[in-house]
């Protein structure tokens, strides 16, 4: 798998429907750019975003 992924590859990687990935991209919740009508997403950005969100959740749980 390349470091640059399209919606189908991200969908498979995150085990989400393609429609969900598209919606996350359009809302800005998932980092990506649209080039020539095709969404391009860096795998590293997805991994970083996932790690940040997970860390926030863990911190919230530990604070309780």
CATH number at residue 19: 1.10.1660
pLDDT in tens, 9-61: 999 999 999 999 999 999 988 999 999 999 999 999 999 988 988 999 999 88
Domain count within the chain: 1
The 10 Å CB-count burial string (b at 16+, else e) for 7-44 is bebbbeeeebeeeebbebbeeeebebeeeeeebebeee
Residue 1's pLDDT band (cuts 50, 70, 90): low
Q: pLDDT at position 42, please?
A: 96
Domain containing 52 equals 4-63
């Amino acid at each position: 798998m390349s470091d640059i992924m399209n919606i189908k590859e991200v969908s498979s990687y995150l085990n989400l429907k393609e429609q969900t990935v598209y919606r996350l991209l359009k809302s800005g919740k998932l980092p990506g750019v649209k080039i020539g009508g095709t969404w391009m997403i860096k795998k590293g950005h997805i991994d970083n975003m996932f790690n940040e969100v997970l860390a926030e959740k863990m911190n919230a749980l530990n604070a309780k």
